[in-house]
Structure 1
Amino acid sequence: MTPPVGLISLATAQPPHELPQAEVARAAGEIFRDRFPQFERMAPVFETTGIRTRQSAMPMEWYLEPRGWPERMEAYTTAAVDLFARVAQAALDEADLTGAEIDLIVTVSSTGIATPSLEARAMETMGFRPDAARVPVFGLGCAGGATGLALAARLAAAQPGARVLLVALELCTLSFRMDAPSKADIVATALFGDGAAACVLRAGEDGFAQVEGAAEHTWPGTLDIMGWRVDPQGLGVIFAQAIPPFARQRLRPAMDSMLAGQGLCVEQVDRFVCHPGGTKVVEALESALDLGQGALDHEREVLADHGNMSAPTVLYVLDRARRAGLPRRSVMTALGPGFTASTVTLSAA
């Protein structure tokens, strides 16, 4: 990427309500046992996800009552704006900047609809300038952390000197549904949590890492693998194909192609920083990239502590990796609706 773009700061934040996995499993059993005949056969998914606890925008009791679009989006707007402000402020503090010094804000979120968008609703609280550019992005799903970082870096490179704030925020739990549950709904109940991550970028050599490049690969004919269905009651999750075997079989050729476009190969990557969609996805990534079983340790830790938070999750992994000490070259990667693999190549400062 020319000019080079520095990652100046990185922060994470969670909503206040803790959801221990054992409690979620018990509640799910009470809710779904009579509604979904196959629940008992699927119940072990709550143990095999590798999740110990998650965080949610609302207390558990809120999810036990029927909810429609107005209630879900009211909860999204209220909780998301608060979480946006907290995580953005943490990223600004680490960068030793104020909101007034940010020139452009990229907001990535696919779990709620807010117009005006989140950064507009937080502008006065954050002290953003009236002339700050806003780029809200919807629809990236679990790939949003990597794709959002790539987009923010491209925007920073296009305007040297500009300070770009990226916020990736998802409240996945608000999509929880009790009506006409499917296998995908049970898996989502076992996997998804809420969270946010933010970082500041600026063209130049400073920061704890520099963005060297970025690439994406979208497989033809895969629109149905992952996404949302839009129903009268709210968003419903779509998992039409098993993602772990898809990743195990088809990620490596795509990764080879994406890296080749940057003059690199897998063997030149010191550390892959991956979105942990679930334990089986993590194992599939290790297999596809020839990393060795257990290599994606930070991924497993984030999954255990927070669940799959969609877009911000890979940035949580990057935060743990940088605190442990980033190697010379890392590649962030995440899979999301499309079906798309997104990568960002980073060099340590």
Structure 2
Amino acid sequence: MLPSAKLISVATAVPGYVLLQRDVAPAANAIFSNRYSDYARIARVFETTGIQKRHAVRPLEWFFEPHGWPERTAAYLEGALDLFVKAAKSALDDAALDARDIDTIVTVSSTGIATPSLEARAFGAMGFRENVHRVPVFGLGCAGGVTGLAIAAKLAQARPGTNVLVVAVELCTLSFRLDELTKANIVATALFGDGAAACILRVTDEGIAEVEASGEHTWPDTLDIMGWNVDPQGFGVVFARAIPPFAEAHMGPAIEGILASAGLSLSDVDRFICHPGGKKVIVALERALSLDQGSLDHERHVLAEYGNMSAPTVLFVLARAIEAGLPRRSLLSALGPGFTASCVSLKKAA
């Protein structure tokens, strides 16, 4: 058995523009209410998401104007690169490492297209070595933070002594669309925020926690639950089926199966660290995992302060849980396009 990788540091970053929900709601009303007959019924989502504010790479006024792929891509490349560098440098500082100490970079992002990918664009600002291994990952959506952490842990485990940096960057607000008169677009406008998170992993005797196991569960015939439509004006969000009832019905057995493959059970988990996709999703997860209502308190706090940032969000929850003090064993989980549940089991370092 190869020695397990340890989580060495976790850092987060957000852009400078703040979108207060009390400002976004009337702005959305002005944009959509006269053009979308069902808007009044859907508009309650701005009050029921549990979100107070979010961060964005562009000011609120930017979203009042139509934008196509060139404008959205320019905003993505600028904003995502800035957040990548901020999160990565913070993670390096926390780990007492230099960028040249990094041997592998896993970059997770599904909200924009960048070729060369973000880690290549960050070379000058970061100072990575010329022989660093690059592993860009696209298409995992909200599950990307957990799966990216699992990939990074396996790469660190495969080459003991090397440092693996994983950075999850998502600019979800760039998917807000004036031309999309759909419930899914309105919900996204009420829910999404921008942010980044970075972690460093290494096989070592020290660290925050040991990555002891990971796994995924993909349900057949569920491609319509979550994802993107690629439209002439940009990405269009896909929420074709309600996620909370699906999570409540199916997440428990899926996690039980993932844990069983690692010789664990739900009773072995002291703390669940979940991706807070929305207020209703959090309640559904508590029911699915037989937790007392209110147990996922870190998740509610992150959702209220940052909204749903897709992949990095669960790592924001992890950072908060670390600050509060990790218990013996924690389980990170997230749901993403596929439709897939992804899990990572963390055992607190001795």
| C-alpha displacement of 1:293 | 0.2
| Counterpart for residue 294 of structure 1 | 294
| C-alpha displacement of 1:35 | 1.6
Read off the aligned partner of 1:306 and give its amino acid letter: Y
| C-alpha displacement of 1:256 | 0.9
Pairs within 5 Å for 1:192-231: 192-231=192-231
| Counterpart for residue 34 of structure 1 | 34
| Counterpart for residue 346 of structure 1 | 346
In the alignment, structure 1 residue 165 sits paired with structure 2 residue 161 = no
Read off the aligned partner of 1:117 and give its amino acid letter: S
Query: Could you tell me how far apart the structure 2 residues matched to 1:108 and 1:40 are?
Result: 36
**Normalising by structure 1, what TM-score?**
0.99
The unaligned stretches of length 5 or more in structure 1 are: none
| C-alpha displacement of 1:136 | 0.5
| Counterpart for residue 178 of structure 2 | 178
| Counterpart for residue 239 of structure 1 | 239
| Counterpart for residue 136 of structure 2 | 136
Q: Is the 8 A contact 1:5 1:205 kept in 2?
A: no
Q: Is the 8 A contact 1:49 1:278 kept in 2?
A: yes
| C-alpha displacement of 1:4 | 1.2
| C-alpha displacement of 1:205 | 2.8
Structure 1 vs Structure 2 CA RMSD = 0.7
| C-alpha displacement of 1:253 | 1.0
| Counterpart for residue 5 of structure 2 | 5
Read off the aligned partner of 1:202 and give its amino acid letter: R
Partner secondary structure for residue 186 of structure 2: helix
Read off the aligned partner of 1:168 and give its amino acid letter: A
Deviations 1:76-104 (A, max 9, x none): 00111111111100000000011111000
Query: Could you tell me how far apart the structure 2 residues matched to 1:226 and 1:192 are?
Result: 14
Query: Could you tell me how far apart the structure 2 residues matched to 1:290 and 1:117 are?
Result: 41
Deviations 1:212-240 (A, max 9, x none): 01000000110110000000000000001
| C-alpha displacement of 1:312 | 0.1
The unaligned stretches of length 5 or more in structure 2 are: none
In the alignment, structure 1 residue 106 sits paired with structure 2 residue 120 = no
| Counterpart for residue 273 of structure 2 | 273
Query: Could you tell me how far apart the structure 2 residues matched to 1:124 and 1:8 are?
Result: 24
Read off the aligned partner of 1:76 and give its amino acid letter: Y
Partner secondary structure for residue 206 of structure 2: coil
| C-alpha displacement of 1:209 | 0.8
Partner secondary structure for residue 110 of structure 1: coil
| Counterpart for residue 78 of structure 1 | 78
Partner secondary structure for residue 287 of structure 1: helix
Read off the aligned partner of 1:11 and give its amino acid letter: A
| Counterpart for residue 46 of structure 1 | 46
Q: Is the 8 A contact 1:4 1:205 kept in 2?
A: no
Deviations 1:235-274 (A, max 9, x none): 0000010000000011111111100001111011000000
Partner secondary structure for residue 103 of structure 1: strand
Read off the aligned partner of 2:20 and give its amino acid letter: P
| Counterpart for residue 116 of structure 2 | 116
| C-alpha displacement of 1:204 | 2.2
| C-alpha displacement of 1:30 | 0.3
Query: Could you tell me how far apart the structure 1 residues matched to 2:6 and 2:265 are?
Result: 23
Query: Could you tell me how far apart the structure 2 residues matched to 1:57 and 1:138 are?
Result: 20
Equivalences, count: 349
Query: Could you tell me how far apart the structure 2 residues matched to 1:306 and 1:2 are?
Result: 37
Q: Is the 8 A contact 1:141 1:336 kept in 2?
A: yes
| Counterpart for residue 248 of structure 2 | 248
Deviations 1:38-76 (A, max 9, x none): 110111100100000000010111111000000000010
| Counterpart for residue 97 of structure 1 | 97
Deviations 1:4-23 (A, max 9, x none): 11111100000000000010
Query: Could you tell me how far apart the structure 2 residues matched to 1:192 and 1:198 are?
Result: 19
| Counterpart for residue 15 of structure 2 | 15
Query: Could you tell me how far apart the structure 1 residues matched to 2:32 and 2:22 are?
Result: 15
Partner secondary structure for residue 178 of structure 1: coil
Query: Could you tell me how far apart the structure 1 residues matched to 2:79 and 2:248 are?
Result: 36
Share of identical aligned residues, percent?
Answer: 64
Read off the aligned partner of 1:32 and give its amino acid letter: F
